[in-house]
Structure 1
Amino acid sequence: MAAPARVPRRLWSVPFRAGDAVRDGLLTRAMLRGPTWVRLLQDVYVHGDAYRPDDHRMWCEAVALRLPPGAAVAGRSAAWLFGVDLLTRDEPVTVLLPTTARLRPHPRLSIVRSPLPDEDRTRFAGLPVTTTLRTAFDLGRHSPRVEAVVAVDALLRRRVVEPAALRAYAAERPGWPGSALLREVLKLAEPSSESPMETRLRLLLLDAGLGPLTAQHEVRHGGRFVARVDLAWPALRVAVEYDGDQHRERAQFRRDVARLNALRSAGWIVLRFTADDVLRRPEATVALVHQALVERRRITARPR
């Protein structure tokens, strides 16, 4: 039986440049052709035990090894490194290249060319990335509009950037592509939004003309706190909630029942929606909310 391949300690768990490993005498080209190693990019390998096809951090590390000077991980990949997960399944690593830089295309790479001054680049988690402000600026000025608002909401919620700082940064760059969209996004941004689907639900209702509404409203009754609701029309005592998968857990379900009973006792109508309602049945969702608002307006308009 052949002896297992010797694995240098520094190559156990992270991607590495094959040329560097060969030059330093850690491996040979023949060893790299064996089953122990997985080729990720040109001249970039990782140990087979550390290879995870859907590990975005691994791909960011691999891509960083190939970046030319002045380039950086950017967009949703940078946001993910900052702790804001906006990624889709198997999403490629977004990189921002200065206009004169070159990088070989790859299916796991999404290359964006744009001016990238030194002040818009930093290092985070050991990798070259666009700064938090540049990341938010880029995500907020690229369509589709809903996804741009989702991204900015998430970054503001995580406090990766502050609203005033992002507005000032955008105001200093009025002629950049997508600036008009970014101005609209900043008007719609809601730092208190707790999830991407909550943002999508809020925009669905606003676009249907059902605003203004309040996000993360605290309901009080008789001077006591009752609950905080995702979206609300406080004067009409109507609330809309987005229910994610966590609401299917038994303990959460019990808390939800008690909470809804308390809101009903305080005189509130609460409508609850899922991702299917927002993404696949938007017209029906809007109709239900509109009906609840109309009914409450009739009640409040009655003479007493």
Structure 2
Amino acid sequence: MFGIPDSDHGAARRSDLAEALGERTLRGAIRDKVLIHLWRGVIIDARRALDPLTRAAAAVLAGGPEAVLSYHTAAWLHGCTAAQSTQTHVTVPYSVWVRSKQGLVVHHDRFDTSDVTRLQGLPVLSLDLVLADLLCTEERWKALAYLDQALAEQPPRDVADFRKEVDRRLMDRDDRRGIRNAEALIALGTTGAESPQESRLRLTIVDDGFPIPVTQHPIVTLRGELLYRLDLAWPALRIGVEYDGYEAHEGREDRDAERDRRLADRGWHILRVRKDELADPVRFLAELRQVFRDRGYRFES
């Protein structure tokens, strides 16, 4: 087997490969499934058919010289692993007529050269612009998870400015749909979510009328020594919520129960939420609401 010459990511234009290998050799490689004709005019190395970078490079070639990676693909390249998708997204100017294909989503929008950076050698829209697009179009909890992950990657001194940049990008959007929802999510974004499901849990709780919780709240001794961190907490009421993902908490039931008992001795009420409860949150939301009432909190009617 042979790879695609002069290609870092295993993707090339068909015309370039025909010139480099010869038409007969190229046809034979495609026939033998050594190379794959992924999209019109674009060939990839069959060994890398599921490699997101290979498909991203192929998408740029399919979109033409003005195409840039965007939406989920760009977010993933910027380090938002929660945004990884089986679809590859590119954006082209309104003047470029390229259609979406199976596995390739083509967006038409305006952008400046200053909005484009290069990651892994590929043209990618800037993270603030990408997040503005996703906050307006993606399912809310997923969009919040992307934002949380992006905020967590910023140096602490830059978090506030980065949040403002995302908000500014919202104001510049031609498509005004989803702006109000996106602004609410920006305000809710935090550096303290440790997984996409924790972001989903936080949004579920806030959407049900609870005050915004503190993330990764520290429980310390009188001497200031760290004992625990709570996923979500309302310190004034001494109420905490812990997300029990299957992987993170498998085999830890006894340890978690002991931890909860020690926190109860300190006046804390801890509610644990399992992964499967996020799809049907009625039970834990009702229990949490009762705990709030027991602690003297009054909900607005």
| Counterpart code for 2:27 | R
Q: Distance in 1 between matches of 2:92 and 2:165?
A: 24
Q: Distance in 2 between matches of 1:93 and 1:255?
A: 42
Classify 1:173/1:148 alpha carbon distance in 2 versus 1 (closer, same or farther; 3 Å).
closer
- The structural deviation recorded for 1:175 is 5.1
- The structural deviation recorded for 1:286 is 0.7
- The structural deviation recorded for 1:41 is 1.4
Contact 2:72–2:83 (8 Å) recurs in 1? yes
Q: Distance in 1 between matches of 2:230 and 2:49?
A: 42
- The structural deviation recorded for 1:76 is 1.2
CA displacement 1:247-267 (0-9 Å, x = unmatched): 2444x5565455334323323
Superposition pairs of residues 23-102 of structure 1, within 5 angstroms: 23-25=19-21, 27-52=25-50, 55-87=51-83, 91-102=86-97
Contact 1:122–1:131 (8 Å) recurs in 2? yes
CA displacement 1:171-195 (0-9 Å, x = unmatched): 3662522433332222121222222
Superposition pairs of residues 97-136 of structure 1, within 5 angstroms: 97-136=92-131
Alignment correspondent of 2:203: 203
| Counterpart code for 1:238 | I
Classify 1:20/1:253 alpha carbon distance in 2 versus 1 (closer, same or farther; 3 Å).
farther
Superposition pairs of residues 1-304 of structure 1, within 5 angstroms: 14-25=10-21, 27-52=25-50, 55-87=51-83, 91-159=86-154, 162-168=159-165, 170-171=167-168, 174=171, 176=173, 177=176, 178-223=178-223, 224-250=225-251, 256-279=256-279, 281-297=280-296
TM-score (norm 1): 0.84
Q: Distance in 1 between matches of 2:48 and 2:14?
A: 16
Classify 1:69/1:204 alpha carbon distance in 2 versus 1 (closer, same or farther; 3 Å).
same
CA displacement 1:90-137 (0-9 Å, x = unmatched): 631111111111224311111211111111111111111101221122
What's the RMSD between the two structures over aligned residues? 2.7
- The structural deviation recorded for 1:7 is 5.3
State the SS of the aligned residue for 1:62. helix
Contact 1:68–1:102 (8 Å) recurs in 2? no
State the SS of the aligned residue for 1:229. strand
Q: Distance in 2 between matches of 1:56 and 1:248?
A: 30
State the SS of the aligned residue for 1:174. helix
Contact 2:83–2:146 (8 Å) recurs in 1? no
Classify 1:243/1:141 alpha carbon distance in 2 versus 1 (closer, same or farther; 3 Å).
same
Q: Distance in 1 between matches of 2:3 and 2:161?
A: 50
Classify 1:6/1:260 alpha carbon distance in 2 versus 1 (closer, same or farther; 3 Å).
same
State the SS of the aligned residue for 1:141. helix
State the SS of the aligned residue for 2:259. helix
TM-score (norm 2): 0.84
Residue segments in structure 1 that go unaligned for 5+ positions in a row: 299-304
Q: Distance in 2 between matches of 1:71 and 1:149?
A: 26
- The structural deviation recorded for 1:37 is 2.0
Contact 2:9–2:54 (8 Å) recurs in 1? no
Contact 1:70–1:116 (8 Å) recurs in 2? no
Contact 2:59–2:89 (8 Å) recurs in 1? no
Contact 1:150–1:199 (8 Å) recurs in 2? yes
CA displacement 1:206-231 (0-9 Å, x = unmatched): 12122142121111243332211011
Classify 1:134/1:212 alpha carbon distance in 2 versus 1 (closer, same or farther; 3 Å).
closer
Q: Distance in 2 between matches of 1:151 and 1:7?
A: 34
CA displacement 1:135-191 (0-9 Å, x = unmatched): 122222325433332221221122298342341453366252243333222212122
Classify 1:49/1:171 alpha carbon distance in 2 versus 1 (closer, same or farther; 3 Å).
closer
Work out the number of aligned pairs and report it: 289
Residue segments in structure 2 that go unaligned for 5+ positions in a row: none
Q: Distance in 1 between matches of 2:166 and 2:240?
A: 35
State the SS of the aligned residue for 1:122. strand
Q: Distance in 2 between matches of 1:35 and 1:243?
A: 44
- The structural deviation recorded for 1:9 is 6.1
Q: Distance in 1 between matches of 2:171 and 2:2?
A: 56
